[in-house]
A and B are shown apart, each in its own frame.
Chain A
Amino acid sequence: MFRSSSLRLAGLYTAVFALSVVVLGAITFFSMRQALSNQFDARIRAESAALVEEYRAEGLQGVVDALHERDSTPGSLDFGLQGPNGAPLAGRLAATRAGLGWSSLELRAQGHAERVRLYSVVLSDGDKLLVGDDEERIEALDGAVLRGFGLAFLGVVVLGVAGGYALSGEVNRRIAAISGTAEGIIDGDLTRRVPVRGSDDDLDRLALTINRMLDRISGLMESLKQVSNDIAHDMRTPLTRLRQKLEAGLAAPQDREAALEGALGDLDSILDTFAALLRIAQIEGGARRAAFRACDLAALARTVTDAFAPSAEDQRQALTLAVESPATVDGDAELLTQMLVNLVENALRHAGPGARIIVKVTRLGQGATLSVADDGPGVPDAERERLFDRFYRLERSRSTPGSGLGLALVAAVAKLHGAEVNLLSAQPGLEVRVSFPEAA
């Protein structure tokens, strides 16, 4: 429990509040005390001035009468009047010895000691007047203030500790839910997700972020599993062929050269497949997005059509570029080029001799489309979506070269760019259309 960060935080807050109560109490205490003693002194000084005035007007007897009257009034100050030789004349302080001006004395009266603040003046004919008050009155007020703040301090500590427990309990329960999910995933259950309360507070947002991260991870795991399955499934055939050729070469020395050359060819195509798989995995990993730049789709399409037009011509196919409107997308030029190359090569390979292939670039608002259409035999509706699967090949294409990874790479590049790939019937033929979203 004491390793809980929310509890520690609550404890820290309580300590800070308690400390501020103490500081506040001290400041109040001292300034109140100052104000009280100023008031105290002012009252003494006023009384003594009034008595000096009385003396001037009424003489010694007037003062003595005034003192008697005051001594019999409850709650009044203490007074004393002494003759020039120190003889007590009147008042409770008549016998008290004190210097002129302000002083504080400890007086013993009725068996207990009390502190008295005194002010004494000498009257015009040498008589001495003392005015004083019991300091315990101030001290009584001090005690009240201290008790008040002491209670406040206790309240803050109790509330802080209790609140901290309650609060940290709640936070701990939610953090425990996150840990529980993580533990479940560590144990291999990738479907676990952190519960979300829907309160949109910071912990909820954290839970949502963690869940999105988990979705991404399980997506990656899924594609990794897919790749390993694909490799196991589809690499076995070419590897078997390679092995057979090498065995044949060993068995028949006269055919060795042809066998080795054939084996080298097989090996190269296996390596190509490997490279393509790794590249797809890398693209799906999404690390390339940092290198995105503005890419001119028309220029990119021109490079590709220029490169492939002569090859198309040799197969009596026509490859043309139609730029309906120039379009720029945010992306990775190298990957976009490779994507278009794969689409064009697919069309060249599968559309058959005499086909016309059109690469089209169109701007749509802030987005853009890039499409490759041919007027070849097309693809049956039922098989269209499966074309994006790794290693998928139409039955009639089994005999043509190619790894079956071309469109999988197209799909990966498109996804990286947030683009959508659609396979449409070009009536006749196939149109592959890549629609890029509006640039951010």
Chain B
Amino acid sequence: MAKVIIPTPLRKFTNNQASIDANGGTVKESIVSIADQFPELKKHIFEENGEIRKFVRIYLGDEDINVLDKENTKVSGESVISIIPAIAGGSL
């Protein structure tokens, strides 16, 4: 059971919860388990074919899952998964 940290732009889909405890033994299972709780979140993270969208990065601890075992990276009870979206704001 890993903790998933939700970035600000996506919190409106999680009743403003900043982090959610997820079920599952891998990164993908963890994210799918919270996406099932909050269906609106799903389309912001996954493409229709189930792949993680390219403007969202998923981290386990401080490491990009793309240099680990990608979505199949194993998680434990102490794991922290971060969803990192591209944000552009600044000067407005």
Asked if A and B are interacting partners, one says no
